[in-house]
Amino acid sequence: MTRVEEVLAGMDATRAWQEELYRDLHAHPELSSHEVRTSAEVADRLTAFRYDVRRVGGGVVGVLANGPGQTVLARADMDALPVTELTDLPYASKVTAVDESGGTVGVSHACGHDVHVTCLLGAAAALAGAREAWSGTFIALFQPAEETGAGARGMVDDGLTDKIPRPDVAFAQHVLGHEAGVVGTQAGPALSAGDSVRIAVHGKGSHGSMPHLGVDPVVLAASIVLRLQTIVARETRPGEFAVVTVGSSTAGTKSNIIPDRAVLLVNIRTYDETVRQRVIAGIERIVRAECLASGSPAPPTFEYYDQFPLTDNDAEVTAKVSGAFRSHFGESRVIELGRVTASEDFSRLPDAFGTPYTYWGLGGFGPGQPLYPNHSPYFAPTLQPTLTAGTEALIVATLAYLGQAA
Ligand code: ZN
Ligand code: ZN
């Protein structure tokens, strides 16, 4: 038996409780930074698997020291989304919550973080149950609030680097709209850096019939929205990647009132820090110039929020893990992920330690099952082979580093 086979020998028993746990987590989703029930469940299980369990910044970390060797960290995110689930699954979420604006929203695992938690607990159990098959330290890290970009930073700010051993390598995975049973790897930039900015520009209020007595922020905002399109079209080198989206533009209340301000919400995605800085500088330059052009009475303000770092997979780690995946899953089940324009905050965790990492995609949809993107109210990965493949992927990647006798 290989090391991987030794660890996977107990998977039949694991699979049964994993499916039950998954349905339970799916039916009990919790919004970002409110993962109370989920983190308690995770901590209880890790304790039962005899991990040394620590609470850090709203997350839960289980450390299993198993002799000399390297240290591997695997991470799962725990939070759900303010999305009302529209699937007809027997375990569909019926949970509602009050959001930040005071309204009632449906809550569901529309991004599949319940898959991630279930797979990592399965891998943690399998590794704990076959200690003789490997040597080193395994860290199972469950983080809150990925969707808001606050969770990984919160754990780092709470002293993560002082509270757990420094990992030599770190992994994370995400269930995506690929075929279930497949894993997708990608060296280098895999997920984009994401930035949001709230831009307020000032006008001078007036009667709608007397525009000459005011400064119209609606026209100003409209000019900005159009001019911002030139950052990608005219200022970014063809072939270089950047997205600039104005997702919201608000001003005014009535047709016959010229308001005194407008607010734009702009989203930015990039794969390269130089490009990112250039795009941000371009946005600020254009906004300031348009304000000047319109005679705006006060300078604009820029408030950056929901910022996600670049996910830049280490080439060596990715090659080693991809090779281990190919020998375990077979060539046909390991695909090239390609660059994904979505963003993640996972990389803040390994970056805090200066640890190389790789982040891979996990297929979640059976043949003939309609493919819905993450965050869709219909997003519902098939239980199997998704859970088993995700669990095996974590074990196989971990044993690529810890599977040798020390
Ligand atoms: Zn998401
Ligand atoms: Zn997600």
Per residue in 105-128, pLDDT (tens digit) is: 999 999 999 999 999 999 999 999
Tell me how far the alpha carbon of residue 31 lies from the centroid of ligand 1, in angstroms: 12
What is the per-residue pLDDT for 275? 97
Q: How confident is the model at residue 11 (pLDDT cuts 50, 70, 90)?
A: confident
Q: Which of 307, 335, 367 is the last residue of a domain?
A: 307
| Cα–Cα dist 204/297, whole Å | 7
* Nearby residues of 259 by Cβ (< 8 Å), 6 or more positions away: 203, 205, 217, 218, 251, 252, 253
Q: Which two tokens stand for residue 266?
A: 């702009």
Maximum alpha-carbon separation in the chain: 84
CATH of the domain at 282: 3.30.70.360
Q: Same structural domain for residues 36 and 82?
A: yes
Please report whether residue 87 resides in a domain.
Answer: yes
Q: Same structural domain for residues 79 and 176?
A: yes
Q: Same structural domain for residues 102 and 141?
A: yes
The ligand whose atoms approach the alpha carbon of 114 most closely is 2
**Residue 406 pLDDT greater than 70, yes or no:** no
Q: What pTM did the predictor assign? A: 0.90
Q: Same structural domain for residues 9 and 96?
A: yes
Please report whether residue 213 resides in a domain.
Answer: yes
**Mean of pLDDT values over 274-303:** 98
For residue 53, CA distances in Å to 45, 47, 225 come to 10, 6, 49
Q: Same structural domain for residues 68 and 179?
A: yes
Please report whether residue 406 resides in a domain.
Answer: no
Could you confirm whether 146 is annotated as catalytic?
yes
Strands (E), 58-132: 59-66, 71-77, 96-98, 104-106
Q: Which of 289, 307, 325 is the last residue of a domain?
A: 307
Domain count of the fold of the chain:
2
**Mean of pLDDT values over 284-311:** 97
The ligand whose atoms approach the alpha carbon of 147 most closely is 1
Q: Same structural domain for residues 173 and 75?
A: yes
Q: Same structural domain for residues 105 and 37?
A: yes
Average pLDDT of the chain is 96
Please report whether residue 156 resides in a domain.
Answer: yes
**Residue 26 pLDDT greater than 80, yes or no:** yes
Q: Which two tokens stand for residue 165?
A: 């051993």
Residue 247: which domain range? Answer: 193-307
Q: How confident is the model at residue 367 (pLDDT cuts 50, 70, 90)?
A: confident
Q: Which residue has the higher pLDDT, 205 or 5?
A: 205
The ligand whose atoms approach the alpha carbon of 113 most closely is 2
Q: Which of 146, 147, 195, 344 is catalytic?
A: 146
Could you confirm whether 147 is annotated as catalytic?
no
Q: Same structural domain for residues 178 and 202?
A: no
What is the per-residue pLDDT for 107? 98
Tell me how far the alpha carbon of residue 307 lies from the centroid of ligand 2, in angstroms: 15
Q: Same structural domain for residues 286 and 348?
A: no
Q: Same structural domain for residues 276 and 340?
A: no
Please report whether residue 170 resides in a domain.
Answer: yes
**Mean of pLDDT values over 258-270:** 97
For residue 354, CA distances in Å to 65, 146, 166, 167, 357 come to 21, 20, 9, 9, 10
**Residue 142 pLDDT greater than 60, yes or no:** yes
Question: Which residue type is seen at 91?
Answer: Y
What is the per-residue pLDDT for 368? 86
What is the per-residue pLDDT for 10? 78
Q: How confident is the model at residue 79 (pLDDT cuts 50, 70, 90)?
A: very high
Tell me how far the alpha carbon of residue 217 lies from the centroid of ligand 2, in angstroms: 36
**Mean of pLDDT values over 379-393:** 96
Tell me how far the alpha carbon of residue 147 lies from the centroid of ligand 1, in angstroms: 5
Q: How confident is the model at residue 272 (pLDDT cuts 50, 70, 90)?
A: very high
Tell me how far the alpha carbon of residue 26 lies from the centroid of ligand 1, in angstroms: 15
For residue 93, CA distances in Å to 117, 197, 369 come to 17, 32, 20
The ligand whose atoms approach the alpha carbon of 375 most closely is 1
Q: Same structural domain for residues 183 and 206?
A: no
Q: How confident is the model at residue 77 (pLDDT cuts 50, 70, 90)?
A: very high
Please report whether residue 405 resides in a domain.
Answer: no
What is the per-residue pLDDT for 405? 52
Tell me how far the alpha carbon of residue 14 lies from the centroid of ligand 2, in angstroms: 24
Ligand 2 ion: nearby residues, β-carbon < 5 Å: 111
Tell me how far the alpha carbon of residue 70 lies from the centroid of ligand 1, in angstroms: 31
Q: Which of 256, 286, 307 is the last residue of a domain?
A: 307
Q: Which of 35, 79, 114, 168 is catalytic?
A: 79
CATH of the domain at 31: 3.40.630.10
Q: Same structural domain for residues 202 and 81?
A: no
What is the per-residue pLDDT for 65? 98
Ligand 1 ion: nearby residues, β-carbon < 5 Å: 111
For residue 30, CA distances in Å to 27, 160, 253 come to 10, 23, 35
For 313-335, how does the pLDDT look when each residue is reduced to its tens digit (9 = 90+)?
Answer: 999 999 999 999 999 999 999 99
